[in-house]
Structure 1
Amino acid sequence: MHTRVHEFSWPDRVVVGAIGLPGARTFYLQVRAGTQIVSIALEKQQSALLAENIDEILDQLITVKGNPFSVPTGTPVELVDNDPLEAVQEQFRAGAMSLGWDPSTAQIVIEAHPLADDEFDPDPDPDPDDESFDEDGAIESEMLLVRMPVGTARAFAKRTREIVAAGRPMCPLCGFPMDADGHICTLPEV
């Protein structure tokens, strides 16, 4: 089995966006370099944790004594990206993800692997034109590897937090999300 790596070392754009109405949104991590675009589906919680952990890494770098990297404390205004997602063609749904720091390039590194499918039953007659199979008929796994500079990472985290927060409003009484078509408030007993 081979792993197809979608690698972006200096992407032109890396964002999280959502498609759909609040309460039924699908979140995507989308990366573009030139004409190459990869979109992977994320859970809302994965998106929120990704933004939170990126900010934590950047905040820790600021406190390192003798840090040679210029890490912005806020989002550089020239890197703000409020544009919608480009044409989305889902590559895979993210399962395991990792986040790191590469000091040799001063970049945040995101690695995403597809959601494991425990119920996968390989097709005994693979379609040779299906790109998910290699030349020997073995199933290829995929992986997204994104490296982004610190300013881009700050802008990415800010936008992601805003996208996540733009969901359904919370009920001020019970604290549960309110749907557009109504809300039955279940107040805790006193």
Structure 2
Amino acid sequence: MSRVIHVFRQPERFVAGTVGEPGDRAFYLQAIEDARTISVLLEKQQVSVLAERIEALLAEIARRFGSEVDTGQEIESSDNDPLAVPLEEEFRVGTMGLGWDADSRSIVVELLAVTEEEVDESVVLDDTEEGPDALRVFLSPVQAREFADRAEKVVSAGRAPCPLCAEPLDPQGHVCVRLNGYHQRSPMGDVSGAGE
């Protein structure tokens, strides 16, 4: 069966979102253009890395092209709506690609499906007939910044990290590796330093 590449050249919406409670969330990226909606499943770390790489690419674009390209440095995400439903997963993301299309002055995000075979990097951002299914989204610099801003908020909206080991804190308790498995009891009222 030949490869399917879902291309969104002028998406009305491209966002990161989650389903589930903190500690048990599934992360999705969703693209919407006209009547088409595609949702792909990925890991929290992939969302975080994609947001970081988009920010780095925007900084590089601003450095190289200056004011020729509006990178929207002061833009704040105005899209705080949940993912569109029904939420139907097209595929799970394995490989991600990112690039700059000078002709359309767009950042191109490509998400490739997980596959058992090793993905040749020549397949990323290419229309070859062989390879995993893909979602390719063209974003203006402003849309890219809005995506990165929302993605960072979605990632950080989970469980708070432990101040000692940075592992997520569970409502049921936390066994901290930095304390050799002992629970830390913090005397909130003792700020005088009497125990020192």
Q: Does 1:60 align with 2:51?
A: no
Answer with 139-148 or 178-187: which moved more.
Answer: 139-148
In the alignment, which residue of structure 2 is the partner of 1:148? Answer: 139
Based on CA coordinates, which of the two structures has the bigger radius of gyration? Answer: 2
- Alignment partner of 1:80 out of 67, 78, 81: 78
Deviations 1:109-167 (A, max 9, x none): 0111111136xxxxxxxxxxxxxxxxxxxx99421111011101000000000000011
Name the CA distance, whole Å, in 2 between partners of 1:144 and 1:5.
6
Contact 1:30 1:39 in 2 (8 A): yes
Answer with 29-38 or 171-180: which moved more.
Answer: 171-180
Give the CA RMSD over aligned residues.
1.9
1:176-187 map, 5 Å: 176-187=167-178
Name the CA distance, whole Å, in 2 between partners of 1:175 and 1:71.
33
Contact 1:11 1:147 in 2 (8 A): yes
Q: What is the letter of the counterpart of residue 11 of structure 1?
A: P
Instruction: Give aligned-pair identity as a percent.
Output: 38
Q: What's the secondary structure of 1:64's corresponding residue?
A: helix
Name the CA distance, whole Å, in 2 between partners of 1:21 and 1:66.
42
Q: What is the letter of the counterpart of residue 110 of structure 1?
A: V
Q: Does 1:171 align with 2:162?
A: yes
What stretches of structure 2 of length at least 5 have no aligned partner? 118-129, 181-196
Higher relative contact order (CA 8 A, sep 6+): 1
Task: Give 1:31 shift.
Answer: 0.3
Contact 2:96 2:109 in 1 (8 A): yes
Name the CA distance, whole Å, in 2 between partners of 1:74 and 1:161.
16
